[in-house]
Structure 1
Amino acid sequence: MKNKKHTFLNEVTDQIKSKEAKKFVANELSYHLKETKNDLIEKGLTEEEAEEKAVKQMGSPIKLGQQMNKLYRPKVDWLLVILFVMTLVLGFLPMYSLGYLHERHFSIYKIMIALISSSAALGIMLVDYRKWKKRGWLFYTIGMFILLLLRYFSNSTINGLPRFRIPPITIESQMALPFFFLAWSTFFSNEKLKVWKFVMLFMIPLFFFLALPSVSNAYIYSVMVFVMLWWSKFSRKTVLFIWAFSFSCLLLLGIISWNTLKDYQLVRFLAFLHPEKYSDGRGYIILHVKELLSKAGWFGNHLDKEFIPEAHTNFVFVSFTYYYGWLFAIALVLILSLFIARIIVVTHQIKDPYGKLLLMGAVALYAVQLATNIGMSLGLFPLIAMSLPFISYGLMPSLLNAILIGVVLSVYRRKDITGNHGIG
């Protein structure tokens, strides 16, 4: 009778193209056959009769398999894909307005960035995200290895930040972020995680980010972890306590360190609050950026060539607004914000708690970059090294966000083959 059951399952799964869906459907059908069989045994049938009748009640294996193939075939979130491609294309506009695309080096490198980012997103989409759940410690170790390598063995710097370079590979601190993102998705999905372990695991990378120093990545890392904390296995009461305690410690640290700030650190902070008083120093860039944005108008300045600091990296939003106008700048912000809205919508379609954690972590990582870069450009946030997702020039910022898109696509692709009785 088992052979008949196995024959039935094989005939069903033969109609299914996806290997992942085959295993899921086989597990689901086995579960339902078992439940039906037990119900029939309770009604007085023998074990053999009950199993045979349970198989017959399933109907034609070929028709069932075709239905399952249609229902559980891998999905592609085409809206997210279109947004992704659209933003990669938009990333060429600032390079064009600044004249960089006329230089062979910049144009080839920008094309390579787009191709590598696209390949990374596609490759990650094809990987079953559920396999990452058991590899949290591996991802955490890789992230720590990157930070330790940069802390003690860096052989070059860019903008004062250490790098480890073995041509053509360059390792920088931002490379650790996707590994910590995957690690915390695993840790927070574990009911055995204790508060003291959370504190220890969080503080060690934070210390090394600050020691490099890489304040911007320490900031991104902290926001990501504390947002993901809300969807962890901790109780809401515990999460709120951790948030309140952390905020209190941060506030106390700020008060204590205020009197120990070095002169240049104090000037940097005061220049952000009152740039007019420091117009000949730290406040100059802030005032210059405000002036550029005020000159942008609705349709920009296509012919004028003004000096814009870090025009293709940290202040790419400023250069985009200045050359293309506020109308296009607002449209750009809306397009970039659609990523957040779309991922949140997808989150409500995901049944797997681990998948939800991945999506919320992706939202946090992406949103903190978007909000901080625009806020910095508008004078609402202190000046730090922060890229605008997919628009700023640079391989690692684009690759980081492409990885996030790939993770979201991977979760979405398998949203119909996660359940209580299937794999995952």
Structure 2
Amino acid sequence: MANKKYIFLNEVTEQIKSKEAKKYVTDELGYHLQEAKNLWVEKGLPEAEAEEKAIEQMGSPIKLGKQMNQLHKPKVDWFMIILLVTTLGLGFLPLISMEYMDSRHFSVIKAIIVLLGGTVAIGIMLIDYRKWKTRGWLFYTLGVILLLVIKFLHNAVINGIPMLRIVPLINIESSMALPFFFLAWASFLNNEKLKVWKFAILFFIPFFLFLNVPSIPITFMYTVMVFVMPWWSKFSRKTLLVITGITVGLFLIVVFTYLPFFRTYHKQRLLAFLNPEKYSDGAGYQVLRMKELMSKAGWFGNLGKKEFIPEAHTDFVFVSLTYIYGWLFAIALFIILSLIMVRFIVISNKVHDSFAKLLLIGAVALYGVQLASNIGMVLGVFPITSISLPFISYGLMPVLLNSFLIGIVLSVYRRKDLISTSFS
């Protein structure tokens, strides 16, 4: 008699293919069986008979198992997969358009980058994101260690940015610490017991490290992420306002304190943004050149014409593609890239797990700040930065970062119906 419950649950789960769903269904049905059993016990039945009655109420275990199998099949967001494949494919376009694909070096490396990006996205999708919910301190520590290693043990410097060169084609830079802090903050903010003073300390340690690497664009991305995520946390509005006020105040103090120590080219870029004509022989040249190329683009571009475009396949890839293919193509490209962020938001509205929602909002912040910064830079809204256009700019680290974000969203979507609301 004591094994009837076990036998019933085993017969149900035998019909279910997904291992994750098996555990979920076992826990969920076990909970409901216990609730039903308790009701029968309260009515005066012995425990053994009450359990038998509770099992009978559930109906046929095979039929129930088949229903559960259909209901809890692992889900794949094929729309997101299509967007990922499309954007990774579009990443080849700058190389083709500017004839870089004639070089085996560029074509082979780009193909490797695309394969790695796709592998990361699918690999993360297959991992159960819920395992990371209580591991915030682990991820935070790993992020801090990575920044310290890059700062003090770097063996390569590119454009003034220290990096760890693993092999000639792979450099680990400070942006690779972002996924660790992203997961850490989702875990921290999922705990409503997090104090304001802890929030400030946890924020500023990576902030200082990013600044000292140095990497102002990555520091900016990190800051936006940390300021956006709390608004979808369990904190009260009053606490959020206190956190925002204190952290913004400290942030401004730190920025103005560090401003005199910023590298010369950082200052020149800011001044050139404000008055490009005055610095036309230096940092202002790029601003003026972008405006000139964008004005020449027209609706249908200048396919076949050759113009010098600085950093045409990296930071200014949107300029080069707009000039070559025109504003119609540029608008279409922007819509495709924006659909990824829109999809993040749509999925976030469908999940009820607070940790999952924080992950999705963090992904929106990290992806959105890249898209907005790069497009805004091209349109003259923001100063020139080295923030890449997601998936389109040439480079390994940005593709891996954004593939990781898409993988997180796919992981959440895959398990969005495996969140128990009754006993979790």
Counterparts in 2 of 1:188-207, with a 5 A limit?
188-207=189-208
Relative to structure 1, is the Cα distance of residues 251 and 210 closer, same or farther in structure 2, using a 3 angstrom cutoff? Answer: closer
Q: CA deviation at 1:317?
A: 0.6
Structure 1: distance between partners of 2:22 and 2:239: 40
Relative to structure 1, is the Cα distance of residues 284 and 10 closer, same or farther in structure 2, using a 3 angstrom cutoff? Answer: same
Structure 2: distance between partners of 1:257 and 1:141: 25
Q: CA deviation at 1:406?
A: 0.3
Relative to structure 1, is the Cα distance of residues 404 and 52 closer, same or farther in structure 2, using a 3 angstrom cutoff? Answer: same
Relative to structure 1, is the Cα distance of residues 235 and 58 closer, same or farther in structure 2, using a 3 angstrom cutoff? Answer: same
Counterparts in 2 of 1:295-334, with a 5 A limit?
295-334=296-335
More divergent stretch after superposition (198-207 vs 60-69): 198-207
Counterparts in 2 of 1:86-235, with a 5 A limit?
86-167=86-167, 169-235=170-236
Counterparts in 2 of 1:50-65, with a 5 A limit?
50-65=50-65
Q: CA deviation at 1:420?
A: 2.8
Q: Cα RMSD over matched residues?
A: 1.8
1:6 alignment partner AA: Y
Q: Mind listing any 5+ residue stretches in structure 2 that lack a counterpart?
A: none
Q: CA deviation at 1:275?
A: 1.0
1:148 alignment partner AA: L
Give per-residue Cα distances to partners, 1:378-418, cap 9 Å, x unaligned: 11101111100000001110000000000000011001111
Relative to structure 1, is the Cα distance of residues 165 and 360 closer, same or farther in structure 2, using a 3 angstrom cutoff? Answer: same
Q: CA deviation at 1:250?
A: 4.3
More divergent stretch after superposition (393-402 vs 249-258): 249-258
Matched-pair contact (CA < 8 Å) for 1:27–1:421 = no
- Tell me what 2:388 maps to: 387
Give per-residue Cα distances to partners, 1:296-315, cap 9 Å, x unaligned: 01111111111111111111
1:79 alignment partner AA: F
- Tell me what 1:276 maps to: 277
1:90 alignment partner AA: L
Matched-pair contact (CA < 8 Å) for 2:15–2:62 = yes
Matched-pair contact (CA < 8 Å) for 1:156–1:164 = yes
SS of 2:351 mapped into structure 1: coil
Structure 2: distance between partners of 1:7 and 1:257: 66
Structure 1: distance between partners of 2:338 and 2:392: 13
Relative to structure 1, is the Cα distance of residues 382 and 137 closer, same or farther in structure 2, using a 3 angstrom cutoff? Answer: same
Structure 2: distance between partners of 1:25 and 1:264: 58
Q: CA deviation at 1:267?
A: 4.1
Matched-pair contact (CA < 8 Å) for 2:2–2:48 = no
When normalised by structure 1's length, the TM-score is 0.96
Give per-residue Cα distances to partners, 1:365-386, cap 9 Å, x unaligned: 1000000000011111011111
More divergent stretch after superposition (386-395 vs 191-200): 191-200
Give per-residue Cα distances to partners, 1:212-240, cap 9 Å, x unaligned: 11001100011011111212232211112
Structure 2: distance between partners of 1:221 and 1:2: 54
SS of 2:3 mapped into structure 1: helix
- Tell me what 1:47 maps to: 47
Structure 1: distance between partners of 2:263 and 2:162: 22
Matched-pair contact (CA < 8 Å) for 2:233–2:354 = no
- Tell me what 1:419 maps to: 420
- Tell me what 2:12 maps to: 12
1:288 alignment partner AA: R
Structure 2: distance between partners of 1:394 and 1:257: 29
- Tell me what 1:347 maps to: 348
2:162 alignment partner AA: P
Q: CA deviation at 1:141?
A: 1.4
- Tell me what 1:356 maps to: 357
Q: Mind listing any 5+ residue stretches in structure 1 that lack a counterpart?
A: none
Relative to structure 1, is the Cα distance of residues 257 and 346 closer, same or farther in structure 2, using a 3 angstrom cutoff? Answer: closer
SS of 1:165 mapped into structure 2: strand
Matched-pair contact (CA < 8 Å) for 1:316–1:391 = yes
